[in-house]
Amino acid sequence: MQPEQEEAAGNWIADHRLAGHSLADMPAPLKPDSENAGYRVQDRVVRRLTAAGHGNIVGWKVGVTTPQMRTHLGIEAPIAGAMLSAGRLQPGSTIRHADYCRIGIECEIAAVLRSPLGGAGPIDAKSAAAAVGQLHPAIEIVDDRYGGNYRAFGVPAIIADCAFHAAFVLGPPVADWAGIDLAAVKGVTRAGARVQVEGIGADVQGHPMASLAWLANRLTSLGRRLEPGQIVLTGSLPLPYWAKAGDAIEIEIDRLGQVRLQIS
C-alpha cells in the first residue's frame, strides 16, 4: 500500500468516525493490505482524531486475546489500538446507545505503567509485570463499526480503526496486586444485575501480563514503546456483551473490584 493510499484510508476512516457513521462500506481500494499497513493507517487516523479534539494517546488496548475471537477473525495473534484521552469516561457515566453503531462492553484488567516497556529486546510476562505500577478493573466500550462481518471487513482495516475501540472506564486503582493470581481471577459483566458473560484471567492470552508483553513486543516491531503513565487494557476476560439501551452495566473482577456504567 502506497503512502498516498494510506493517507486516503486514514482520512476516510477519520471522516466517518467523526460523523458517527459505520465503516462497513469502506471501499476495497482503501483497505490496508497487511497488518503493518493497518498500523500505519491507524497512526494517520489517530492524528486526525487528535486534531479534531479527541486528545492525545493515553494508552493502548489489546484486542482479540481469546482463542474464540481469534478463530472468529481467522488470525493467530491479538491486535492493538491506540486510546485517546477524550475516550476516558468517569465511573458511573451515562452514555447514549444511539451514539454507537453496535456497542459492546468488555470486562478487562487495566495496567498503568510505572516505567517504559519495549523498544529493545524481547519482553516476557515477568518483565512486563515488573513495569506495572497499578492495576484497575476496567470497562472497555467497543463499537462494531464493521457491519458484523469481521472477516469480510478485514483484520488490517479493523486495526486501522483502532481495533474496535471507542472509550474506557477505570475503576479504583489496586497498587498491592503482586500476590494476586491474575490467571485465576474471574471477571463478570452484568446488565440489570444479571450476569451476561463471564471468564477468567487465563482467557486473556493465557495471562494478562502475557498480553501486556505481547503489546510491548508488537509496538517494538513498529518502532514504538510503552511509556510511564500509559494505560493498557489487556483484553476482555469474558467475550463482549452487546449492550442494549437502558442497560445498567457493572463489571466485577475478583480481588480487583467493580466498575459501573449506564447506557441510555
Banded pLDDT at 153 (limits 50, 70, 90)? very high
Residue with cell 479534531: 52
Judge whether residue 33 has pLDDT over 80: yes
Task: Please state, in angstroms and rounded to a whole number, the distance separating the CA atoms of residues 261 and 95.
Answer: 8
pLDDT, mean over the chain: 96
- The helix/strand/coil state of 208 is helix
Q: What local confidence, expressed as pLDDT, does residue 190 receive?
A: 98
Q: What local confidence, expressed as pLDDT, does residue 74 receive?
A: 81
Q: What percent of the chain has pLDDT over 90?
A: 91
Banded pLDDT at 68 (limits 50, 70, 90)? confident
Least confident stretch, 35-39, 51-55, 75-79, 89-93 = 75-79
For residue range 103-113, list pLDDT tens digits in order: 999 999 999 99
For residue range 184-231, list pLDDT tens digits in order: 999 999 999 999 999 999 999 999 999 999 999 999 999 999 999 999
Q: What local confidence, expressed as pLDDT, does residue 108 receive?
A: 98
Task: Please state, in angstroms and rounded to a whole number, the distance separating the CA atoms of residues 125 and 213.
Answer: 5
For residue range 164-177, list pLDDT tens digits in order: 999 999 999 999 99
Beta strands, E only, 91-164: 94-95, 103-113, 132-143
- The helix/strand/coil state of 257 is strand
For residue range 114-143, list pLDDT tens digits in order: 999 998 889 999 999 999 999 999 999 999
Task: Please state, in angstroms and rounded to a whole number, the distance separating the CA atoms of residues 147 and 39.
Answer: 21
Judge whether residue 181 has pLDDT over 90: yes
Q: What local confidence, expressed as pLDDT, does residue 148 receive?
A: 87
Angle of helix 35-49 versus helix 3-19 axis, rounded to 10: 50
Q: What local confidence, expressed as pLDDT, does residue 72 receive?
A: 76
- Write down the pTM of the prediction: 0.96
- Please give the class, per CATH, of domain 56-263: alpha beta
Banded pLDDT at 70 (limits 50, 70, 90)? confident
Judge whether residue 10 has pLDDT over 80: yes
Q: What local confidence, expressed as pLDDT, does residue 66 receive?
A: 83
Q: What local confidence, expressed as pLDDT, does residue 90 receive?
A: 98
